[in-house]
Amino acid sequence: MGEPRTLVTGATGLVGRAVVRALLAQNRPVRVFVRDAEGARGLFGPQVEIAQGDLRDPTSLRPACTGVHDVYHVAGAVDVHRHTAAEMWETNAEGTRRLLEAARAAGAGRVVYTSSVSVYGDLLPVGVAEDAPLNPAGIYGASKVEAERRVRDAAARGLRAINLRPCIVYGPGDRYFVPEAARLMRLPLLPLPDGGRHLVDVVHADDLARAHLLVMETGRSGEAYNVTDGGCYRAGDLLRWIAEALDRSLWFPSIPWRCAVVIRPLINLLGRWWGRSDLAHLGMQELRGLFSDYHFDISKIAALGYAPRIGARAGLHGELRRARHRVAVHEDASGPSSTAAYGAGEQDEG
């Protein structure tokens, strides 16, 4: 018999496809569990076996887990503006429960679950470690907390199961962080909460994929591990590096908390006018998040040998260069595009 398959859920997303790339680089036989089989075939060709299904459908999970030893459970609902609270809970919490049940029934031996630092909530101290209280601020974080509980329960019943908590992720296939930040670079000015002094952790998808493979082999069952790129970045610096990579010159005025609270209704109005759901639905919870520090301790996973290779400045510049190249190729083939440098590129990754 051949080597058992490794199953990756959510393989067409940013993190999932990075995990698949890392596994294929090690010549591991990979099966992907996806809703869009054609999209997966376009991304990976014949290199992977495709199991089409949905986390909400247990009958599609059972055959996907058959003959599998390792499971990387990356799939999940992320965008609170696209998914209702019920949909997010059903996918992230209940979907994880169904997958764990299918994996145990099929005889899988190990599971790594891609959770999130959102389980800690907002208004955090600097350097949050894995033993900090879990106090999610919204439905996304709450659904991740419940999914983590299911993973710990599975570990207590004998499955080797681990929770991984990444911060903001960017890289090939990013549809959120870098594209949204690059879109903001079209503005003549960008007010920064408290001058952009608050800390924000990021990690490149390729480093995060290596962290997945590492904890699968050496992580402790039932435990959780934070993952960042190991840097300590101010939000203002990250945005300035993105502007620098796009050759944009913006004014970054500082905006204090009280002023942000007063003008929030205006931001909501402008968001509706511009068709920007994130601004149109900016609530007090999201606003508090913009005035919070998000810096996490990764000494626990570093003790396993995790050593990130891609720093934020170089990584962001690299991703933006690739996006601009895609746009240039597209324009050469079909004529000038009216979309700004990163905007067109992000659509290719959908």
The residues assigned a catalytic role are 140
Map tokens 């996006």 to a residue: 323
For residue 286, give every residue at least 6 positions away whose Cβ sits within 8 Å of its Cβ, in sequence order, or none. none
> Can you tell me the distance from the alpha carbon of 303 to that of 314, in angstroms, rounded to the nearest whole number?
25
For residues 103, 106, 109, 115, the Cα torsion angle rounded to the nearest 10 degrees is -10
118 burial via Cβ count (<10 Å: 0-12, 13-18, 19+) = buried
Check residue 34 and give left, alpha or beta (phi > 0: left; psi -120 to 50: alpha): beta
CB within 8 Å of 68: residues ≥ 6 apart? 4, 5, 6, 7, 31, 103, 106, 108
In the numeric block, the tokens 């907002």 are attached to: 122
The closest alpha carbon to 229, from 164, 302, 180, 290, belongs to 302
One-letter amino acid at 315 equals G
Q: Are 238 and 202 in contact (CB under 8 A)?
A: yes
Q: Between the CA atoms of 144, 219, 17 and 204, what dihedral angle is there, to the nearest 10 degrees?
A: 90
Q: Which secondary structure element, helix H or strand E, spans residue 254, and what is its range?
A: strand 254-255
